[in-house]
């Protein structure tokens, strides 16, 4: 009897173990599962509704099961409401083998390039999201910012991004949460490369980002290649340099139709997979920007009183958009990146130097201390002292109004009507290559 019950509980234990999804961790410049296998991201940007797409369990189940057939293993969600109940949706995605990367900021709390500051209200808002999502085994990462920097002058905001990383990681560790990786999602601005990535990865590991990610729309159509697309230049800038993982936090150019997602075969090839950890395709739902992989019905006239705000239905059964959905599915099915186990891997790159200051290009002193909590960037103090260090006093004034309009239009400012900004960014980046 005793033996039998021992056996039964062993079996139950095994079943429990088999059910739990392994957690994601980092060693060197790669992601691994807690079972020791290398983890490559095949992700989808998922923001059905502006405030929080992770509260309707029925909807999440519908989407997660279709995403599973697509071959996705991760979603990226830009905005959530930490007060919501996320148990049902997180379970739905876990059951489908799908991890979550979630941004900690919102439109109200994000770090701004034009008037950088980092204060207690922002930290509290960021950590509320961290508090809510750290407990889910399938939370794979947090972003402290999305496309905050877009110009050389805007580099003065970089220390504020890194201060946010420092403080949310300190919160994570003080609460004894699992060490969910903390990263940043950068706009693909050639003039900020590679300084931004190196700055966010350099120095004290308690401050540095755990991973870096790039929103890149450089690869359009099938008639390009690793060498022609710009991906080889991106790879040269990280190869044997960046000590933390990097992946594409948005990709999927739409200027050539239909979308073939041919870049996926490069990202997971031997040219790139030793240095990159995969990609997140932009985006799940079809809306005004035309980047969708599924729709929830025909667009309706937004002036109809029954219609959703922009005419796009945002719930129900998702219908794949053909042939784009199938194209991405067959790319992901075909790719076979060579990987290494966590035990067998010993990182060859363990640190990177902080970038030197170059006026107008990278306006951050190499050895300047990070802003303290409550600090605001003081442009006047910086130009008067000539230091260009991007450090203001804790009581300093915000940057002059003139600098706040400098940022390029970016989708993050307008989830409902983002097409102009995103396409504009794509064009600008192409021109800058
Ligand atoms: C932080 O900055 C925001 C403006 O972005 C402001 O509304 C808020 O009051 C500030 N919080 C503190 C604690 O200073
Ligand atoms: C950067 O700032 C300098 C000094 O304020 C200004 O002359 C220059 O036009 C700015 N460049 C950009 C790209 O905003
Ligand atoms: C790194 O930063 C942490 C927290 O700010 C500090 O306690 C630690 O002493 C620093 N380590 C080094 C090597 O400077
Ligand atoms: C949740 O999603 C389902 C499926 O799309 C939908 O029928 C239902 O109305 C949604 N519930 C709420 C409260 O929006």
Phi-psi region of 178 (alpha: psi -120 to 50; beta: other; left: phi over 0): beta
Report the relative pairing of strands 30-33 and 117-118 from DSSP bridges. Answer: unpaired
Any idea where the domains of the chain sit in the sequence?
2-432
**Spatial separation of the C-alpha atoms in residues 92 and 56, rounded to whole Å:** 10
Give the residue numbers marked as catalytic.
Answer: 147, 250
- Full-model pTM: 0.88
In this prediction, residues 167-193 reach a mean pLDDT of 98
pLDDT at 395: 29
Query: Are residues 111 and 105 in contact, defined by beta-carbon separation less than 8 angstroms?
Result: yes
Of the listed ligands, the closest to the CA of 189 is: 2
* Mean predicted lDDT score pLDDT of the chain: 88
pLDDT band at 391 (very low <50, low <70, confident <90, very high): very low
Tell me the average pLDDT across 340-352.
Answer: 98
Burial class (CB in 10 A: 0-12, 13-18, 19+), 115: middle
Residue 320 buriedness (CB in 10 A; 0-12 / 13-18 / 19+):
middle
- Using 50, 70 and 90 to split pLDDT, how confident is the model at 66? very high
Closest ligand, as measured to the CA of 404: 2
What is the structure's pLDDT at 380?
Answer: 75
309 band by pLDDT with thresholds 50, 70 and 90 = confident
Question: What angle do the packed helices 158-174 and 120-133 form, to 10 degrees?
Answer: 50
Check residue 398 and give its pLDDT: 27
DSSP track, 30-49: EEEETTS-B--EEEEE--SS
pLDDT, tens only, 249-292: 999 999 999 999 999 999 999 999 999 999 999 999 999 999 99
Cα–ligand 3 centroid distance for 348 (angstroms): 23
- Best substitution site from 81, 85, 315 to test ligand 4's pocket, by max atoms within 8 Å of Cβ? 315
User: Is the CB of 150 inside a 6 Å radius of any atom of ligand 2?
Assistant: no
Q: What CATH number was assigned to the domain covering residues 2-432?
A: 3.20.20.80
Nearest to 83 by CA among 52, 50, 46: 52
- Ligand 2 binding pocket includes 153 (Cβ within 6 Å): yes
Q: Whose CA is nearest to atom 2 of ligand 3?
A: 206
Q: What is the pLDDT of residues 313-335, one digit of tens each?
A: 999 999 999 999 999 999 999 99
With a cut of 50, say whether residue 417 has pLDDT above it.
no
- pLDDT of 387 higher than 80: no
Q: How far is ligand 1, taken at its centre, from the CA of residue 99, in Å?
A: 32
């Amino acid at each position: 009897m005793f033996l039998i019950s021992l056996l039964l509980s062993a079996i139950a234990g095994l079943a429990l173990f088999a059910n739990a999804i392994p957690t994601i961790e980092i060693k060197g410049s790669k992601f691994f599962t807690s079972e020791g296998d290398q983890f490559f991201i095949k992700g989808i940007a998922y923001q059905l509704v502006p405030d929080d797409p992770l509260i309707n369990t029925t909807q999440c189940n519908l989407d997660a099961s279709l995403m599973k057939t697509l071959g996705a293993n991760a979603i990226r969600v830009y905005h959530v409401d930490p007060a919501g109940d996320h148990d049902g949706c997180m379970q739905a995605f876990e059951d489908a083998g799908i991890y979550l990367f979630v941004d900690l900021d919102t439109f109200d709390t994000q770090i701004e390039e034009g008037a950088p500051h980092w204060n207690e209200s922002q930290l509290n808002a960021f950590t509320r999201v961290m508090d809510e999502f750290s407990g889910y085994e399938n939370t794979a990462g947090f972003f402290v910012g999305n496309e905050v920097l877009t110009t050389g002058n805007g580099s003065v905001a970089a220390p504020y991004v890194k201060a946010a990383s420092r403080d949310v990681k300190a919160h994570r560790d003080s609460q004894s949460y699992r060490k969910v990786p903390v990263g940043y999602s950068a706009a693909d601005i050639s003039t900020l490369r590679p300084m931004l990535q190196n700055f966010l990865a350099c120095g004290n590991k308690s401050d540095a980002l755990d991973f870096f990610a790039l929103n890149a729309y450089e690869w359009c159509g099938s008639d390009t290649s690793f060498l022609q697309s710009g991906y080889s230049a991106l790879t040269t800038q990280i190869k044997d340099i960046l000590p933390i993982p990097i992946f594409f936090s948005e990709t999927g150019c739409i200027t050539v139709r239909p979308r073939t997602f041919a870049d996926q075969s490069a990202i997971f090839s031997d040219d790139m997979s030793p240095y990159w950890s995969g990609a997140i395709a932009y985006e799940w739902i079809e809306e005004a920007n035309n980047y969708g992989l599924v729709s929830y019905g025909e667009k309706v006239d937004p002036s109809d009183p029954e219609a959703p705000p922009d005419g796009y239905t945002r719930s129900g059964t998702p219908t794949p958009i053909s042939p784009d959905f199938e194209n991405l599915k067959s790319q992901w099915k075909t790719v076979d990146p060579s990987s290494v186990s966590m035990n067998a891997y010993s990182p060859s790159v363990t640190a990177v130097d902080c970038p030197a200051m170059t006026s107008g290009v990278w306006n951050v002193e190499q050895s300047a201390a990070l802003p303290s909590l409550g600090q605001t960037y003081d442009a006047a103090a910086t130009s008067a002292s000539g230091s260009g260090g991007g450090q203001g006093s804790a009581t300093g004034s915000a940057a002059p109004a003139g600098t706040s309009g400098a940022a390029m239009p970016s989708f993050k400012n307008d989830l409902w009507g983002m097409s102009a900004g995103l396409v504009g960014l794509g064009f600008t980046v192409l021109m800058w290559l």
